[in-house]
A and B are shown apart, each in its own frame.
Chain A
Amino acid sequence: MSVIRKNFTPAAVTAAIGAGLALSLAAGAAAATPKRGGTLVIGSPQTPRHLNPAVQSGVATGMPGSQIFATPLRFDENWNPQPYLAESWKVSADGLSVTLNLRKNAKFHDGKPVTSEDVAFSIDTIKKNHPFKTMFAPVAKVETPDPHTAILRLSKPHPAILLAMSSSLCAIIPKHVYGDGQDAKRHPMNLKPVGSGPFRFVEYVKGQHIILERDPNFFLKGKPYLDKIIYKINKNTNSLALGLERGDIHLRAFNTKSRELGRLKKNKNLVVTSQGYAAIGPIAWLAFNLKHPILGKKAVRQAIAYTVDRKFINESLHSGLSQPALGPIAMGNPLADPNAKRYDLDLDKANKMLDAAGYPRKADGTRFQVTLDTLLSQRDVAEYLKPQLKKVGIDVKLRIPPDFPTWANWVKSHEFDMTVDVVFNWGDPVIGVHRTYVTSNIRKGVIWSNTQSYSNPKVDALLEKAGVELDPAKRRQIYLEFQKIVTDELPVYWMYGLPYHTIYNKKVGNPPLTIWGTMGPMDNVYLK
C-alpha cells in the first residue's frame, strides 16, 4: 500500500484512498470513498488493429481490451494473483493441473452467462492464434465438469500459468459469439467485441476514438465507478501532452519522452509515475543479425557493447528516467541477475578487440560499415549510436523507416545488420524472454521471434528446463546460468528499460498502478 500512497499529496486523502485501494485489491471488496460517475478520457497515440486481446498482443489492443474482457485472474502491484472471473483457484502439487472456480453471477455484455465452456474455448483460441505461443503451449486440454468449474490439464509443469491467465493475456471470449467457425484473427466481432469486463463496447472509429461504457451487470457488485471511458487517439504525442496540461485528457500511459515528462512533472494538476509497468518489462536493445559476416563474431559484438555508454543513455538522453538493462530479464523481475557481466564504457578495449578481430582502421579511420535500423520511437538512441560507434571506427549507416510495418518487414525477413528494438518481458520469461533466444523460434516472417538467428544448444536446454521448474529457487538458478551465457555471447545488447511513464490528472482516483497498469481492468478507477 505504501507504493501507491506516495502518488497522492494531501495527507488525509492519502490515507483514506491508500487504505481503500489496498482493501479492494486484497479482498476484492468495494473501496470506501470512491465516487460514482464521470467519463475518463485516456489519450493514446496508437490505433489498435482491433480490440480482441485473445488473438492480438500489444498495448494498443490491451488497454481497451482489458476493460471489455475479464480474465480468470488479475494481479496486484506486488505480483500477487487475485480472484477475478475465478473466485478461487487451485494448482495441484505436481503442477500438472489448475482448477478454476468461476463466479456464478458473471455475465457477458449480451446477457449470457460466463461458463467453463467459454474458458475452455478462450484458452483454445488463444493457444491457436495468440502470438505468444509459449503461454498456453503446455495446456493439453481444459476439462469442464460443470458450468462453473474449469480444470486445465498440463502436459508439463508450467510456472507461468497463473500470470498467463491474468490481464490482457487471457481474455475470456464468449463461445456463442466467436465460436461460429470464422477465423478468430479476422472475426468481424473483434471490432465490436463482446466480453464480460467492467466496461462494454460502444464505438470505435479508427484513428479517432474508442468509447466504452459501464456494464451495469458487471459481476463485481458496485463496480466499475466510471460511467464511461474514452480513448482519444492522436498520433501526435505533443497534442496529447497539451491535452493533459489543458485537462482535456485525464490519463496517458506509455510515455517515454523524458523532456516532456520533466515538463509535465512540474504541472500542479498532474502526477507522473513509472509504476504500472512491472509485468510488461520493456527492454530496449541493440539486436545483431548473427548471419552478418562481421557482426556474427562475438568479439565484434562485445566491442560494440563496450562502446555503447548505457550511463549516457540513462542519465543524459533520458534525463535519468530510464534504468540500464543488464540482461535479458527486466530489472524489476526477481529472476533478473543483478551481477550480470557489465560492459561499462571502455573505448580502448573496444578498439583493441576490433583490431584483434581482424578489422583494423583503414586510411579514413573507419573499420567497416554496417546499417542500423530503428523503431521510430527509439530514433534518438539510434541517432546517438551513430556518432558513438564512429569513435571506434564503425561507420554506421542509419536507416530510418517511414513507418512501423516497413521496419518490421526488414527485421522479420532478417534483412538487417543491426536494429534498435524494444521487446517486452510480459511478466514471466517463458512468455516474453525465451522467444528471443531459443533455436526453435528462428522463424522468418515473424517479428519479435529469434530474428537474430541465435542458436546455442546449451541455452535451448536451460530454457527448456526453466520452463517446467516449479521450485522458484531452482528456477532462478537456471535463469542465472542462462543469463551468464547470453550476456557473454550477446545475441543482442540490452541497453535500457524503456522509461514508460503514466501521467494522470489529480482528479483520477485509484489510478491503475498494478503490475499491468493501464493494461489491467480499471473497475476501481474513479473521478474525484
Chain B
Amino acid sequence: MADRPAGAEIPVATAESPAREAWRMFLRNRSAILGLVLLAAIILVSLFGPPLYGVDPFKIRGAPFTPPGVDPNVPLGTDHVGRDILAGMIGGGRATLAVGASAALMTVAIGLLVGAMAGYYGGLVDEILMRITEFFQVLPSLILAMVLVALFTPSLYMIAIAIGVASWQSTARLARAEFLRLKELEYVKAGRTIGATDRRLIWVVILPNALPPLIVSATLIVGVAILFEAGLSFLGLGDPNIMSWGLMIGSSREYIFDSWWSATFPGAAIFLSVLSVSLIGDGLNDALNPKLRER
C-alpha cells in the first residue's frame, strides 16, 4: 500500500472497491490461481485448438484401436472406429464447456427467479414456490435429466435444459435465504420508503448484494453440469452428432478393457475441468466472504 498515489483523498487503508479487494483476496489463494490457469488453458485450447489442429474429430484418421505414441499422425491414438483421440480432446471441450456453462446459467436463472420471488414476497408466494422447489428437490436429479433427454431427442440444447431443470433447487434455496435476510436491511427499507418499485428493489438494490454466494454456487454448478453431461453421454444419452468428452467416454466404454486410452484421456480432461472449476469456486468463496478476509 506504500505506493498509493499521493493525492489520495481518503486516508483509510482499505479504500479499494469491493471487487478489487475480492480479486486481491482471490490472488492470495494459490489453489484458486491454479484452477484459474487450468480453466483458462482449457478454454483457450477449446477455442483456438480446433482451427489450429484442423482435424474433424469425427474423421477416421488411422486404424481402429491405435495406441498412443505409435502413429505420429495420431499422437494420442485412435478409438474403436479409428477417430483421432487428440482431435476429439481438442474439439470435444467446446461442447462439454458450453453445456456446463449454459446449464449453470439455466440453473442460476431458474433458481434466482424462484428464490428471489419467494424470499422477497414471502407469504403465499413463498409457500407455493418452496413446495415446488421441494418437489424437484426430492427427485433424483440424474434420473430426472435422463427422462427429459430420453423423452426428447438427445441434443446439446436439450441436455443443457435438462441439467438446468434438474438442478436449480439449491440455488433457489440459497437465493431465497439471501433475499429474506437482505430485504429487512435498512438500505432496502430506505429504498422502499422513497417509493422504489418492487422490481427495482429486487434487481437493483438487493440482487447485487445477494450475488456473492450465488456466484460461488454457480461456479460449482458448472462443474456439476460438466459431470452431468459426461454421465448422460456415458449412458448413451448424449448428442451423437457433436463431439464432446462425455460422448467419447460413452462410445468407448464398451472397449475399456481393450483400449484404455480412448476413455482415459477424455476422462482426464473432464476431471481437470471439474477440478479447475471447483478450485475457482473455493477461491471465490474465500474472496467474497467478508468474515474470511482478515485471515
Contacts and interface: CB of A to CB of B under 8 A. Distances in A.
- A and B: interacting chains: yes
Interface of A: 237-238, 241, 257, 259-260, 262-263, 316-317, 319, 376, 379-380, 383-384, 386-388, 390, 397-400, 402
The A contact surface, by secondary structure, is helix
Contacts of B258: 259-260, 262-263
Given A399-B153, A400-B236, A400-B240, A238 B256 contact: yes
Contacts of A260: 255, 257-258
A259 B259 contact: yes
Interface string B152-167: 0110000000000000
Given A316-B64, A316-B82, A398 B241 contact: yes
A380 B80 contact: yes
Contacts of B81: 317, 380, 383-384
Interface in B74-95: 80-83
Interface in B244-263: 251, 254-259
Nearest to A406: B150
Contacts of A319: 64
A521 B6 CA distance: 98
B11 to A, nearest CB: 64
Nearest to A384: B81
Contacts of A400: 154, 236, 240
Contact of B60 (A263, A379, A387): A387
A384 B240 CA distance: 12
B59 A237 contact: no
Contact of B254 (A237, A262, A386): A237
B210 to A, nearest CB: 40
B236 A376 contact: yes
| Interface hub of B81, B154, B237, B254 (most chain A Cβ within 10 A) | B81
A384 B60 contact: yes
B109 interface: no
The B contact surface, by secondary structure, is loop
B240 A399 contact: yes
B65 interface: yes
A319 B259 CA distance: 14
Nearest to B56: A387
B63 interface: yes
Contacts of A317: 64, 80-82
Contact of A238 (B64, B65, B254): B254
Closest 9 CB pairs of A and B: A259-B258, A398-B240, A387-B58, A400-B240, A383-B81, A402-B150, A387-B59, A384-B81, A316-B64
A380 B65 CA distance: 12
5 contacts: A241-B257, A260-B255, A262-B258, A387-B58, A400-B240
Nearest to A401: B236
A267 to B, nearest CB: 13
A238 B63 CA distance: 23
A387 B240 contact: no
Nearest to A262: B258
B130 to A, nearest CB: 33
A320 B159 CA distance: 38
A316 B56 contact: no
A402 B237 contact: yes
Interface in B236-295: 236-237, 240-241, 251, 254-259
Nearest to A374: B240
A412 B132 CA distance: 40
A379 B154 CA distance: 16
Given A262-B258, A400-B240, 7 more contacts: A260-B255, A260-B257, A263-B258, A380-B81, A383-B83, A388-B60, A402-B236
A16 B240 CA distance: 53
A387 B83 contact: yes
B179 to A, nearest CB: 40
Given A383-B251, A390-B58, A402-B236, A263 B80 contact: no
Nearest to B151: A402
Nearest to A238: B257
B241 A379 contact: no
A271 to B, nearest CB: 19
Contacts of B63: 316
B209 to A, nearest CB: 45
Contacts of B82: 316-317, 384
A266 to B, nearest CB: 12
| Interface hub of A257, A259, A397 (most chain B Cβ within 10 A) | A259
A386 B240 CA distance: 10
A259 B65 contact: yes
A317 B62 CA distance: 11
Contacts of B59: 387
A259 B63 CA distance: 13
Nearest to B238: A400
A257 B153 contact: no
Nearest to B150: A402
A264 to B, nearest CB: 11
A259 B257 CA distance: 9
A259 B255 CA distance: 8
B62 to A, nearest CB: 9
B258 to A, nearest CB: 4
Contacts of B60: 384, 387-388
Contacts of B241: 386, 397-398
A403 to B, nearest CB: 9
A345 to B, nearest CB: 13
A255 to B, nearest CB: 12
A527 to B, nearest CB: 27
A14 B83 CA distance: 44
Contacts of A390: 56, 58
Nearest to A257: B254
Contacts of B154: 400, 402
B78 to A, nearest CB: 10
Contacts of A397: 241
A368 B63 CA distance: 28
Interface string B41-77: 0000000000000001011100111000000000000
Nearest to A318: B64
